[in-house]
Chain A
Amino acid sequence: MRMWTYVVRRLFLLIPVIIGVMTILFILVSAVPIPERLLSVYGANRIGYNPTVPCSELTRNLSTPGNCTNPYYTRGVQDLGLNKPVPVQWGVFMLDSLTFQWGYVDNHSFVGTQFTLLAAEPVTTVLSWFLPYTIELALLSLLIIVVVSIPLGNLSAVYRNRPIDQGSRVMSFSGYALPAFLLGTLVLMAVVLAIGPLTHWASLTCKGTTIFTDFYGSWPQAGCYPGTATYPTWLSAGQVSYPTHFPTVDAAVHGDWGIAGDTLLRMVIPALVIAYGTIAVILRFVRNSMLEVLNLDFVRTARAKGLPESQVIRRHAGRNSLNVTVTVLGLSFAFFLGGFPVIETVFGLWGVGRMLAYSILVPYDYGLIFGSTLLFTYLVVFANIIVDIIYAYLDPRVRLG
């Protein structure tokens, strides 16, 4: 099979997966009470919906819509097709999901009441404000993981069951087995105790003057900027940074290298904690694939023809064991883009994971929850395809067999 045939075939296989995922989400969204669903689909401001009017007491029984006098309710029900057959509703849901119309932030939910700037904004807009910070954080953590895990994994495969193997296994597993919230809090405590309550610029986390309050209290500065009272013009209050929403990139674009460096510096400790927590999984894959390659015939041949051991490991075995590693790294990057709800909450970072963490607080924001799920699903599916194609490129047996 040629490469492009493989790609096309892989893309066709995508269709049933997308349809299936949408169906699962559609079943779940159908179980949401209708008033809440209307709120998250249309946004309270836009439909003039007030939960205190009798409509909120409507049951989910649509055949008798009750004594609802709110015209927006009936219009919402009609627009969603809730009085139509289920396949029509499913179609509407599919269309909306595929065209990125994921509804609005409900302004009676926890997010809506806590962050008035976010209330009644489209979910896609909100996610696009907070995703860039998470992407930067994910890239940084992935960099740390790659730098540590590939050499360490190869070493522990070569020196199997020796002290270096056992030691790296214990270290990486202990990071994996510690709850992230506990590890993060302890690290934060240690950092604060170590450097003391210094100025904002010297502080290494996004926390403010007192240890456990957020950096300058609240949003709007998605990302983590030094809390001076006057923001630069490109960072005006009420907006996320301009123009790309990537905090570091934006600062660099506007020539404010101080802020760029500071933002990056504050990401380092959370990224280290993330890397420590996830390195065990990657390390295990690197080690095992290296072990398998080391048993193969071509390695024996390389040794037999008298190559020095270092060259055998680096040139022959190391390169060939990288296929699996690339796959795992790609998939974990997609997983990382799902945000780090716990780490971002502990360290006070404003990423997409933290928004998700807020949206599951008790007046749930269904729009944001389902929107994040759609976003992360798209990311995972997309990453799967990319990784498969890269793997097929690296290992011709996949596309030939």
Chain B
Amino acid sequence: MAAGETAEASPAVTETPVRRGRRPSPRIAQWIRTWYFFRRNTLAMLGLIVLLLMLALAIYAFAYPAPYDGLTQLCATNGGTNPAPGCLCTYPVGTAPPGPNCYQTPADFPSVIAPTFTLSPLAGGPLPLGSLTVTPGTPYFFNLYAGMVRGVDWTLMISVGIVITGALAGLLIGAVAGYYGGWVDETLMRLVDIFLSVPQILLVIIMVAVLANLPEFTSFVARIELLILAFVITWWPFYARIVRGQVLVTREQKYVEAAQANGASRARIIVRHIIPNSVYPVLVQMSLDVGTIPLLIGALVFLGFHLFPTPYFPEWGSLAALSVTNLTAFLTTCQLPSGCIIPWWQFFFPGFGVFMYAISVNFLSDGLRDALDPRLRR
């Protein structure tokens, strides 16, 4: 903390003489300084902007839910004379088509629908981002726009939920192990070693495969919770190890000694002094992991593992995986290079979404690390 109050602190803090009377607390000052260094990293700022855009999209999707997101209902099953926005519809023989994307029988539905960009995507009319064929050759569709908009919600919720829960567990266990030392440390660290020895993704697979048999995990919400639980159980050891390493440094600091001399209890020292000052490396790792989780989920879905309660779950990683499976099937039946159109939109939108998420989070974590670590600043 002493470093935080020296004269060479960030210009943002020291330059204005008016504020000299109420200087921000050292911890706030450190955040301001971090922001000062972070701001100068172009890539990290780009990543932050992309993430904020995604967050805005998630709020938008929450406020204005896309119709027929494919979560419970496939778009084309909504056949009827009344076309739902962004869906396919059917109409009786002999009448005029009531709207775009309307066909006389479901058998007339085209096998893929290319995207048509309109100014008001949520209004009725063509499928804005095209369609994702559910089973190649059958007239059932996944409205890709709706899936993408709905998916940003699930993507953020699942990945951030996993990472925050895992980090909280790791933070607590790592702090206790590092601060108490001795046999507590030995025991907890052996536990961490044990969990780190099993390949993470395999542990997730086993847990989902085995525990999904149990009656407790049959409902929709419980299945998502099981997924999050499985990831958290495999991921907390990373955080615990990182935190412990940092706590070993933090507990030797002067302010911890001062707190001990003041007679603060151990719990208070851990919660008020150790954890807030050891949290930075975990933040970096967290922001890195958040982007990896949709990739892992996508890989599992691609392999055909029954991860989600419904086969067409609107999560970006799994949408990308489904689209690639569809692409493969489509190309096999279509006999390249005889000149059929490759349905690029199917894999492009979810794939690009996952890519942007993962890469911006990576840049963010890189910038965060550089800004938090005084040795790397310069």
A185: CB under 8 A from chain B? yes
The contact sample of 14 A-B pairs, CB cut-off 8 A, is A16-B194, A20-B190, A20-B193, A28-B210, A31-B210, A169-B43, A177-B295, A178-B355, A181-B299, A182-B324, A210-B335, A366-B209, A369-B205, A380-B197
B20: CB under 8 A from chain A? no
Within the complex, what minimum Cβ distance (angstroms) separates B50 from chain A?
A: 11
What are the residues of chain B within 8 A of A28 when measuring CB–CB?
Answer: 206-207, 210
Residue of A25, A32, A178 near B213 (CB, 8 A) is A32
Q: Determine, out of B93-101, B151-159, B300-308, the stretch whose residues face the partner at the interface.
A: B300-308
Residue of B198, B203, B205, B359 near A360 (CB, 8 A) is B205
A233: CB under 8 A from chain B? no
Q: With A and B bound together, what is the CA distance between A360 and B209 in angstroms?
A: 8
B174: CB under 8 A from chain A? no
Q: Let me know if B209 and A17 touch, CB within 8 A.
A: no
Q: Let me know if B295 and A179 touch, CB within 8 A.
A: yes
Q: Let me know if B331 and A189 touch, CB within 8 A.
A: yes
Q: Let me know if A177 and B191 touch, CB within 8 A.
A: no
B90: CB under 8 A from chain A? no
A162-206 CB contacts (< 8 Å) to partner B? 166, 169-170, 173-174, 176-182, 185, 189, 192-193, 196
A74: CB under 8 A from chain B? no
Within the complex, what minimum Cβ distance (angstroms) separates A72 from chain B?
A: 22
Q: With A and B bound together, what is the CA distance between A369 and B195 in angstroms?
A: 17
Q: With A and B bound together, what is the CA distance between A13 and B332 in angstroms?
A: 52
B186-244 CB contacts (< 8 Å) to partner A? 190-191, 193-195, 197-199, 202-203, 205-207, 209-211, 213-214
Q: Let me know if A181 and B198 touch, CB within 8 A.
A: no
Within the complex, what minimum Cβ distance (angstroms) separates A183 from chain B?
A: 9
**Per-position contact with B for A19-30: 1 when CB-CB < 8 Å, else 0?**
011001100110
What are the residues of chain B within 8 A of A292 when measuring CB–CB?
Answer: 375
Q: With A and B bound together, what is the CA distance between A181 and B302 in angstroms?
A: 7
Q: Let me know if A16 and B299 touch, CB within 8 A.
A: no
B321: CB under 8 A from chain A? yes
Q: With A and B bound together, what is the CA distance between A193 and B339 in angstroms?
A: 11
Q: Let me know if A377 and B351 touch, CB within 8 A.
A: no
What are the residues of chain A within 8 A of B213 when measuring CB–CB?
Answer: 31-33
Residue of A33, A177, A295, A356 near B359 (CB, 8 A) is A177
What are the residues of chain A within 8 A of B302 when measuring CB–CB?
Answer: 179, 181, 342, 345
A372: CB under 8 A from chain B? yes
B75: CB under 8 A from chain A? no
Residue of B298, B303, B337, B375 near A193 (CB, 8 A) is B337
Q: Let me know if A182 and B362 touch, CB within 8 A.
A: no
Chain B, residue nearest A277 (CB): B295
Contacts A28-B207, A28-B210, A361-B304 given; 13 further ones with Cβ under 8 A?
Answer: A20-B190, A21-B198, A31-B213, A32-B213, A169-B43, A178-B351, A179-B324, A179-B354, A181-B321, A213-B332, A345-B302, A366-B210, A373-B202
A362: CB under 8 A from chain B? yes
What are the residues of chain A within 8 A of B160 when measuring CB–CB?
Answer: none
Q: With A and B bound together, what is the CA distance between A345 and B299 in angstroms?
A: 11
Q: With A and B bound together, what is the CA distance between A192 and B332 in angstroms?
A: 12
Q: Which residues of A contact B (CB under 8 A)?
A: 13, 16-17, 20-21, 24-25, 28-29, 31-33, 166, 169-170, 173-174, 176-182, 185, 189, 192-193, 196, 210-213, 280, 291-292, 295, 335, 338, 341-342, 345, 356-357, 360-362, 364, 366, 369-370, 372-373, 376-377, 380-381, 384
Q: With A and B bound together, what is the CA distance between A341 and B199 in angstroms?
A: 13
B347: CB under 8 A from chain A? yes
Q: With A and B bound together, what is the CA distance between A213 and B197 in angstroms?
A: 36
Residue of B207, B299, B320, B336 near A192 (CB, 8 A) is B336
Q: With A and B bound together, what is the CA distance between A211 and B213 in angstroms?
A: 37
B363: CB under 8 A from chain A? yes
Residue of B190, B303, B306 near A357 (CB, 8 A) is B303
Within the complex, what minimum Cβ distance (angstroms) separates B303 from chain A?
A: 5
Q: Let me know if A179 and B351 touch, CB within 8 A.
A: yes
Q: With A and B bound together, what is the CA distance between A107 and B108 in angstroms?
A: 42
Q: With A and B bound together, what is the CA distance between A166 and B44 in angstroms?
A: 11
What are the residues of chain A within 8 A of B327 when measuring CB–CB?
Answer: 185
Q: Let me know if B199 and A376 touch, CB within 8 A.
A: yes
Tell me whether A17 and B337 are in contact in the complex, defined as CB-CB below 8 angstroms, given that A33-B213, A370-B206 are known contacts: no
B281-316 CB contacts (< 8 Å) to partner A? 291, 295, 298-299, 302-306
Q: Let me know if B320 and A373 touch, CB within 8 A.
A: no
Q: Let me know if B199 and A380 touch, CB within 8 A.
A: yes
Residue of B43, B206, B358 near A177 (CB, 8 A) is B358
B317-352 CB contacts (< 8 Å) to partner A? 317, 320-321, 324, 327-329, 331-332, 335-337, 342, 347, 351
B376: CB under 8 A from chain A? yes
What are the residues of chain B within 8 A of A280 when measuring CB–CB?
Answer: 362
Q: Let me know if A31 and B214 touch, CB within 8 A.
A: yes
Q: Let me know if A369 and B209 touch, CB within 8 A.
A: yes
Q: Let me know if A360 and B191 touch, CB within 8 A.
A: no
Q: With A and B bound together, what is the CA distance between A361 and B306 in angstroms?
A: 8
Q: With A and B bound together, what is the CA distance between A356 and B43 in angstroms?
A: 38
